[in-house]
Amino acid sequence: MWPLYAAGFTTAFGAHGIAANLGAHTKGAVTSLLVLGGLLALYDGAEVLLKPVFGTLADRIGARPVLLGGLAAFAAASALYVVADSPGWLWAARFGQGAAASAFSPSASALVARLNPAAKLGRAFGSYGFYKSIGYTLGPLLGGVLVWVGGLRLLFTVLAVLGVAVAVWAALAVPAVAPLPRARQTVLDLARRLADPVFLAPTAALAAATAALSVGVGFLPVSGRASGLGTVATGAAVSVLAGCAAVVQPRAGRALDEGRLTTRSGLAVGLLVTAAGLACAMLPGLTGILVAAAVIGVGTGLITPLGFAALAANTPAERLGQTMGAAELGRELGDAGGPLLVAAVASLTTLTYGFGALAVLIGLGAVIALAHWRSGG
At 210-243, the pLDDT tens digits run: 889 888 877 887 787 777 776 666 667 777 888 8
Give the residue with greater pLDDT, 28 vs 104: 104
Name, in order, each residue with C-beta under 8 angstroms of 288's C-beta and a sequence gap of 6 or more. 280, 281, 282
pLDDT of 193 over the 80 cut: no
Pick from 13, 153, 151: nearest CA to 90: 153
Pick from 164, 167, 160: nearest CA to 84: 160
pLDDT of 161 over the 90 cut: yes
pLDDT of 120 over the 60 cut: yes
Burial class (CB in 10 A: 0-12, 13-18, 19+), 187: exposed
* pLDDT score recorded for residue 292: 92
pLDDT of 322 over the 80 cut: no
245-297: pLDDT as tens digits: 888 998 998 898 888 888 888 899 999 999 999 999 999 888 888 899 999 99
For all residues of the chain together, what is the average pLDDT? Answer: 82
pTM of the model: 0.75
Burial class (CB in 10 A: 0-12, 13-18, 19+), 195: exposed
Number of C-beta neighbours around residue 326 at 10 A: 22
* pLDDT score recorded for residue 373: 57
* pLDDT score recorded for residue 203: 87
Burial of 111-128, coded b for 16+ CB within 10 Å and e otherwise, reads bbbbebeeeebbbbbbbb
pLDDT of 189 over the 70 cut: no
Q: Are 326 and 55 in contact (CB under 8 A)?
A: yes
pLDDT of 158 over the 50 cut: yes
Give the residue with greater pLDDT, 9 vs 84: 9
pLDDT of 150 over the 80 cut: yes
For residue 152, name the pLDDT band (cuts at 50, 70, 90). Answer: confident
Pick from 148, 128, 191: nearest CA to 1: 128
Please state which of the ranges 42-46, 172-176, 205-209 shows the lowest mean pLDDT.
Answer: 42-46
* pLDDT score recorded for residue 277: 95
pLDDT of 160 over the 90 cut: yes
For residue 355, name the pLDDT band (cuts at 50, 70, 90). Answer: very high
Taking the C-alpha atoms of residue 92 and residue 125, their distance in angstroms, rounded to an integer, is 32
- Calculate mean pLDDT across residues 63-84: 92
